[in-house]
Amino acid sequence: MTAPLASVLFVCVHNAGRSQMAAGFLSHLAGDRIEVRSAGSVPGDQVNPSAVEAMREVGVDISAQKPKVLTTEAVQASDYVITMGCGDACPIFPGKKYLDWALEDPAGQGVEAVRPIRDEIKGLIEGLIAEIDAKQEA
């Protein structure tokens, strides 16, 4: 088993929707090549059922995931830290690549409203994988 090319941490406030969908897509599309973490500054009780359903529609199962609290250690252990609307709650460490993805919050929305957010996340993830792969080839 080779070491992952990079590790990525997705952070949103509740770690229940956007960050879980992003982590699900990255694990699904990159497999073991990229280490994936997600966390929230104020984690929710459960993953958003609409997010779970929207992901199931595209063949990605995130139903077993649980919201996790954001720790300093998780940030320090990651090469990429991708925030989704958590603003100042995300700690900043030198030497990390920070990306802020402005995505609508799916909290409290039905599957119909979550689908476009899911599709936008998938496109962002595909771009991220391409960027990480390109770095390896450079």
Looking at the annotation, which residues are catalytic? 12, 86, 90
One DSSP character per residue, 30-51 reads HGGGEEEEEEESS--SS--HHH
Q: Which amino acid is at 112?
A: E
Q: Helix 18-30 to helix 111-137 angle, to the nearest 10 degrees?
A: 50
CA separation, residue 58 to residues 18, 86, 87, 118 (Å): 15, 26, 29, 9
Please say whether the beta carbons of 81 and 30 come within 8 A: no
- The rounded Cα 1 to chain-centroid distance in angstroms is 24
Q: Which amino acid is at 4?
A: P
